[in-house]
Structure 1
Amino acid sequence: MHVFRFEAYAARQESKELVGCWLHSRDFCEAAGRRKSVARLCSACGELVDLAVSAPGGQVETREGLQCPRCGLNARVRAGISLLRGLVDPASASIYVTEQATSTYAWMQAHHQGALYGSEFEPDAAKRGKLAANLQHLGGQGEINFEDVTRLTLPDASQDAVLTFDVLEHVPDYRAALREFARVLKPGGSLVATFPFTDQPPTITRASINAKGQIEHHLPPEYHGDPISGGVLCFYHFGWDVLEEARQAGFGKVEMVMPWAPEQGIVYGNWTLLARR
């Protein structure tokens, strides 16, 4: 897997390699859009599989789609896990994952030998019970932990890595979440984060919480699916300015990276925030 790495938007603009990457991905999507699946190596399973092609509106989904029929992981998650493997020792690392009732967490339980802790933002015990049943259905096990990512219960400097896949956009005070991630990471620990990314300098605020604690919509509401409610409000589509927010939260080396492995069904667009404590 090749990884494009940039510490600023200006550096990304100067990359000629990205143009070739985009052109290759365009051709891939044109061909894949005429099929129900494409044979590729699943980096999570380590086997050649037929990745399911989803093309809502005729456009191939290169982040949420290209799902492996064996492990259930989409391209975005497989790319993030591949990045994580290059950062920590799976035999000993302590990892916090900001989800639990998902295929991602079930896969982590089955393949990670170190300490693993996951959570869901669900204070209701009955609903957590339903989430636990969902986790078991996916092949995982255990009770569901409740955590607010802006006020984690984890001790300082307790984790080697924090893994958060498309969660930050649902957190009104995402800056507080970044500070918490930095707090719980050990020196040298890493944050691996995905979220809707504009690939433009400014973050787009779609909604916010006003002084009265009410939601204010600045753009038409956008909801993303979850195992219980069926939809969670998206507050942000992040831009390159999130790198500076991560630095101000306490991270040292901060990059936006884009994994590139067309032989694995990981093509243009899977931007990921990597931040080292």
Structure 2
Amino acid sequence: MGEMAAWPVITADLPLRNLPRAGITYGLLEGSAGHTMKISRRNFSDLSSALSSSFGYCTLCGFHTQFLCYEPDEMPCKRNTFVCRECGSLARNRHVALAVLDAFRDTVPANSLSEFAREFNGAIYVMDVKEAIYRCLKGARNFTSSEYIDNVPGGQWKDGVLCQDVQSMTFPDNSFDLVITEDLLEHVPFPEKAFDELHRVLKPGGYHIGTIPIKWHLEKSAPRAKLVDGQIIHLEEPELHGDPFRPEGILAFTDFGHDMIDVFFNRIGPTTMLSAHEDKFLEQAFGIYNSWAFVSRKSP
């Protein structure tokens, strides 16, 4: 992805009103005649490692571009692939961006997360310092980001990165208008504490928008491991997920099931689950596959 800047880019403007419509748009394609989106054409000579691709509108960078898939067709979950050729966003990143744009469309009628970052005056907190959502929002007027860093106390900095534990954050109450987490909350030993903390740091009327992997065969969420007196007790075979700071991966403590909204997300506030599972419109329009985004709003 690092070579993108050297590729030739041709851009043109297309009025949003000319886009094909479908039944579900989350409001994104409701743009007026004055709103435009960008279309890019690149030299696609280096696609040998991609197994498939699609074209669509990236809800992060605002380009109509190509999404590259590096998973075989038999891989059922493609939420972590279909990489945007422009900004490197994944399918689930674009789903989160779509949810943000919809949540704030009455106050910030943006057509991409990049535009939202330029126009939004509220306080944004992203619990990540690597992925596309972070890169897209970091230029916003009031932006905070953090990472959990082993053996670094919350609120301290290491190598320019703020450390925070979502189970015990150091921010004052009512600090943020928008908090974003992606595939984070399954990795904390005490998820109830994390959801309570997210409620605490949100301003009244603020939103938490996030993703978690869901085990749909489970009626009830269940712990995979517990932390007891500083020791990890495994209840299931250890499950490690990819992590940019930990080459060995990061342990999943919780399998979230059908009860995740009632038991966990509603601790933040009333929650809506946005499904992009086998949704042909979201696949074809935005390259969003097999994703579930959760939008929770703290009571005003």
Does TM-score exceed 0.5, indicating one fold? Answer: yes
Do residues 78 (structure 1) and 88 (structure 2) align? no
Deviation at 1:171, TM superposition (A): 0.5
Candidates 101, 117, 129, aligned match of 2:130: 101
Candidates 236, 253, 257, aligned match of 2:274: 257
Deviation at 1:257, TM superposition (A): 1.9
Q: Distance in 1 between matches of 2:53 and 2:179?
A: 32
Deviation at 1:56, TM superposition (A): 5.0
Q: Which secondary structure state, in structure 1, belongs to the residue aligned with residue 291 of structure 2? A: coil
Match of 2:78 in 1: 62
Letter in 2 for 1:80: V
In structure 1, runs of 5+ residues without a counterpart are 5-33, 130-142
In structure 2, runs of 5+ residues without a counterpart are 1-21, 27-49, 109-115
Aligned Cα root-mean-square deviation (Å)? 2.5
Match of 1:274 in 2: 295
Q: TM-score, normalised by structure 2?
A: 0.69
Q: Which secondary structure state, in structure 2, belongs to the residue aligned with residue 271 of structure 1? A: strand
Distance 1:246 1:47, change over 3 A: same
Spell out the pairing of 1:172-183 with structure 2 (5 A cutoff): 172-183=189-200
Q: Distance in 2 between matches of 1:187 and 1:76?
A: 26
Could you tell me whether the CA contact under 8 Å between 2:52 and 2:70 is conserved in 1? yes
Deviation at 1:239, TM superposition (A): 1.5
> Higher Cα Rg: structure 1 or 2?
2
Could you tell me whether the CA contact under 8 Å between 1:54 and 1:61 is conserved in 2? no
Q: Distance in 1 between matches of 2:86 and 2:161?
A: 24
Q: TM-score, normalised by structure 1?
A: 0.75
Q: Distance in 2 between matches of 1:248 and 1:195?
A: 15
Letter in 1 for 2:219: P
Q: Which runs of 4+ in 1 moved over 6 A?
A: none
Identity %: 30
Residues 33-69 of structure 1: CA distance to partner in whole angstroms, max 9, x if unpaired?
A: x943222222222222221112258315421011112
Deviates more, 1:155-164 or 1:225-234: 225-234
Could you tell me whether the CA contact under 8 Å between 1:95 and 1:116 is conserved in 2? yes
Match of 2:58 in 1: 42
Candidates 251, 257, 281, aligned match of 1:233: 251
Match of 1:169 in 2: 186
Distance 1:184 1:99, change over 3 A: same
Deviation at 1:237, TM superposition (A): 2.2
Equivalences, count: 230
The structure richer in helix per residue is 1
Letter in 2 for 1:121: Y
